[in-house]
Chain A
Amino acid sequence: MATRVDTLEPVPAPERPPERRLPPRDWARENLFGTWFDTVLTVVFALVVAWLLYRVGKFALVDARWEIIERNITNLMVSGFPREELWRVWAALLVLAASLGFGAGALAATRRREVEEGRGAPPQRASALRRAGPILLLVAVLLWFAQSLQATLLTVAVGLLGIGAYLLGRRVSLRATRAALVVLAGIALAFAVVVAFGGVGWHDWGGFMLTVFLAVGGILLSFPFGVLLALGRRSSLPAVRVVCVAYIELFRGVPLIAVLFMSAFMIGFLLPPGVDRPSLVVRALIGLVLFTSAYVAEIVRGGLQGVPAGQVEAAQALGLSPLRITTRIVLPQALRSVIPGLVGQFISLYKDTSLVAIIGLTELLSVSQNITKQPDFLAQGLIVETLLFAAFVYWAGAYWMSRESQRLERRLGLGER
């Protein structure tokens, strides 16, 4: 054991030196032309960057023929989803916006109260507009291509509902677990809105909608398995440990595409005769969950290892049963610290869902390849436009989430003992 004396006060964050505001000329001398080497670097980089910006800008604004995206924006978003049922997608978006806004608002209220009572670190200042930047940019681009008044109005409605629910949530104040339950209920309800009552089953889902569904469904289903595997890996029973380690290392040692091949080709053979093979979407989801669980397990294991041994010992001294120690003492502390890691895993999964295109699902990437084969656009080299569009959609989501996760990490790090 370390002999260092633990202080009870939170360690104050290292103070940043105040930003110096330099006049432009001094700023440039300090940051661009400090030495002759710096000057050479600046000139070379300026030329290269300017040339790149010129080429990219000219392509995006002048040369690119974005008509293929404009005409296929619905295809890219939902692919084969029946068009007369599209209202269900909008309804689901409204439900999602309401639950996410409410949950976020309730959480923010709780956080504010904690800060007022002197627990928890004050939030970092960042304007909401700046934080939501990538998402707003994504929505703007999508609406620009959609060129539809109806879609614009509905999007505004979704946004307003989200903001309204946020403000409502601010008055309620829920603990993190309750807020998460509200969001989960919203996701389940949104799913039901699309599927239930003569709705559209997931074999007809496609496009960006399928991408998001696979990512969200994948991480939600992987979470319980991952927690169980992590607990198993830390178990004192050798048999349990060996089985869990074998599973984790097996799935972390093979690429996702091999796991997807396995679930696409093999699941049919593993079912007893008479049972129908599940649809390809389900098989892909199973593959993603098998794969992601192993990674979630390793992240959760890191959190479990971070719980001080004294916590378990204290709980044992109080006479709690092993089950209660795990569920009441260890897991709550461990899971709190693994949230940034889980967000990181979710970002990977979100990007990795593009791999289901290889086994034949029509998610965003495969739609963006397929539409270049339409008679109107065939053999015109429009793949550059469609792939750039798909890359932008992925980028906006992943960049936004990674920035938010960094914020979260800083805040959790600050609030830690």
Chain B
Amino acid sequence: MLRIAFQAVFLLVVAIFLLYLWETATDNLRRLGIRTDFRYLRQPAGFAVPDSDFRSSQSLFDAVLVGMQNTAKVALLGIVLATVLGVLVGVARLSSNWLVRRAAAAYVEAFRNVPVLIIIIFFWLGIFLRLPPISRATEILDLVVVSNRGLVVPWFEKVGSGAAFGVVALVGLLLAAAAWLWRTRVFDRTGAAHHRVLWAGGVLLAVLAVGFFATGRPWVFQTPERGELATAGGFRLSPEYAALLLGLTIYTASHIAEIVRGSILSVPRGQSEAANAVGLSGFQRMRHVVLPQAFRISVPPVANQYLNLVKNSSLGVAVSYYEVTKITQVSISQAAPAVQAILVLMAVYLLFSLSIALVTNVINRRLTLKGR
């Protein structure tokens, strides 16, 4: 009885506090003549977003969506690159080669202990914006054009219809899945090596290659051409995007490397010794015994780093990369109501965080050993 009474009082106090905040806020806003609803999202934005089709006559709601897209663009690529770099550095920290080991340790200690914001701003102001203008741009191997307008990398240019190729790609995926199932069945029945990744990947690649030429080469690979004032062809990474991406990648990789190292070290030594005893090679020992167990340990902390990377992508605001935080900041300066705009911003990040947490929880549950 007492417990219920206490909880009721507690909820009441919390509710009154929140209600009080809400009432004061709406009162204050009304007195200042600021709107208190979310209909402002339908107003035209009044600003353009660089490197996108967004026009200033489109609504603020659309602007938030574009911002979310840009956040996803930098976060997804950042996660992939940070994982690759982090695993490499983490494994290098355990190398038997003294120089490799020390170099990896120096990398980790140098970047882990510096604010990510400084790394990002350093890349932006200190490197990318100080590169020569396009008229004097450097070309690396005639493939990448580097200037103060960003990096231009070779990319596929669409020349034909992609629809037919899309059908081919779908067929390829289905065939690859079939090959996967077939090899799994062979493995279950006979115990012969399944090689299902090789088989499925090979089938997919073969179908895609055949389909690419059969549908009349819908894409061509184009290297950027340098002009006097602009570059033609290729895919341009703006200095802002490149700085944010590189900063997030390098910083997060230094954290992932520590997790990878810790996970590998935490696999009991008896496992390695047993693998040696049954005559596995060094590579087989890592591939089949150590890494699978280390992977299982490292999933939750690495997922946490992914979440941090998504949240840190909000630092695009400091380098004028138009992800959702920068969009919010600009729209507030363009007379969008601050309170609502910030609430929308927080809701967007909660959406990102919760969806990543959901995915990694599912993965984690499938990986956790049963019955322990």
A binds B: yes
Asked if A381 and B342 sit within 8 Å, CB to CB, the answer is no
How many A-B contacts if CB must be within 8 Å?
A: 155
Whole-angstrom distance between the Cβ of A353 and the nearest chain B Cβ: 8
Q: How far is the CA of A265 from the CA of B25 in the complex (A)?
A: 12
Whole-angstrom distance between the Cβ of B54 and the nearest chain A Cβ: 22
Q: How far is the CA of A316 from the CA of B325 in the complex (A)?
A: 50
Asked if A261 and B28 sit within 8 Å, CB to CB, the answer is no
Asked if B115 and A265 sit within 8 Å, CB to CB, the answer is no
Residue B29 at the A interface, CB < 8 A? yes
Q: Which of A379-413 contact B (CB under 8 A)?
A: 381, 383-384, 387-388, 390-391, 394-395, 398-399, 402
Asked if B25 and A273 sit within 8 Å, CB to CB, the answer is no
Per-residue CB contact flags for chain B residues 124-161 toward chain A (1 = under 8 Å, else 0) read 01100010000000000000000000000000000000
Beyond A32-B99, A402-B113, 14 extra complex contacts between A and B, CB < 8 Å: A34-B96, A46-B99, A240-B10, A243-B10, A243-B11, A250-B350, A254-B353, A255-B311, A255-B325, A255-B349, A261-B345, A269-B29, A395-B110, A398-B112
Report the interface size for chain A: residues with CB under 8 A from the other chain. Answer: 54
Interface-located stretch among A2-10, A37-45, A169-177, A189-197: A37-45
Partner of A354, one of B110, B115, B346: B115
Residue A49 at the B interface, CB < 8 A? yes
Report if A253-B350 is in contact (Cβ < 8 Å); known contacts: A32-B98, A261-B345, A265-B342: yes
Residue B184 at the A interface, CB < 8 A? no
Whole-angstrom distance between the Cβ of A66 and the nearest chain B Cβ: 15
Contacts of A395 in B (CB 8 A): 110, 113-114
Asked if B24 and A31 sit within 8 Å, CB to CB, the answer is no
Residue A126 at the B interface, CB < 8 A? no
Q: How far is the CA of A398 from the CA of B29 in the complex (A)?
A: 42
Q: Which of A340-399 contact B (CB under 8 A)?
A: 347, 351-352, 354-355, 357-358, 365, 369, 381, 383-384, 387-388, 390-391, 394-395, 398-399
Report if A239-B353 is in contact (Cβ < 8 Å); known contacts: A258-B346, A261-B328: no
Report if A257-B99 is in contact (Cβ < 8 Å); known contacts: A240-B7, A365-B117: no
Contacts of B100 in A (CB 8 A): 41-42, 45
Considering the complex, give the chain A residue whose CB is closest to the CB of B27.
Answer: A273
Contacts of A347 in B (CB 8 A): 113
Whole-angstrom distance between the Cβ of B314 and the nearest chain A Cβ: 4
A-B contact pairs, 13 of them (CB 8 A): A45-B97, A243-B11, A250-B346, A257-B314, A257-B317, A268-B28, A269-B28, A270-B25, A273-B31, A352-B115, A358-B318, A387-B125, A395-B113
Per-residue CB contact flags for chain B residues 327-349 toward chain A (1 = under 8 Å, else 0) read 01100100000110010011001
Asked if B14 and A243 sit within 8 Å, CB to CB, the answer is yes
Residue among B126, B328, B332 with most chain A CB within 10 A? B126
Asked if B97 and A41 sit within 8 Å, CB to CB, the answer is yes
Asked if B325 and A383 sit within 8 Å, CB to CB, the answer is no
Whole-angstrom distance between the Cβ of B318 and the nearest chain A Cβ: 5
Q: How far is the CA of A402 from the CA of B294 in the complex (A)?
A: 24
Considering the complex, give the chain B residue whose CB is closest to the CB of A383.
Answer: B125
Contacts of B349 in A (CB 8 A): 253-255, 258
Whole-angstrom distance between the Cβ of A174 and the nearest chain B Cβ: 31
Residue B118 at the A interface, CB < 8 A? yes
Q: Which residues of A contact B (CB under 8 A)?
A: 31-32, 34, 38, 41-42, 45-46, 48-49, 237-240, 243, 250, 252-258, 261-262, 265-266, 268-273, 347, 351-352, 354-355, 357-358, 365, 369, 381, 383-384, 387-388, 390-391, 394-395, 398-399, 402
Q: Which of B34-89 contact A (CB under 8 A)?
A: none
Partner of B113, one of A45, A258, A398: A398
Asked if B99 and A266 sit within 8 Å, CB to CB, the answer is no
Residue B354 at the A interface, CB < 8 A? yes
Residue B243 at the A interface, CB < 8 A? no
Residue B370 at the A interface, CB < 8 A? no
Residue B238 at the A interface, CB < 8 A? no
Residue among A257, A354, A394 with most chain B CB within 10 A? A257
Partner of B325, one of A31, A237, A257: A257
Return the 8 tightest CB-CB contacts between A and B, nearest first. Answer: A398-B113, A239-B7, A31-B98, A255-B311, A253-B353, A255-B314, A351-B115, A354-B115
Residue B109 at the A interface, CB < 8 A? yes
Asked if B99 and A45 sit within 8 Å, CB to CB, the answer is yes
Whole-angstrom distance between the Cβ of A42 and the nearest chain B Cβ: 5
Q: How far is the CA of A270 from the CA of B18 in the complex (A)?
A: 10
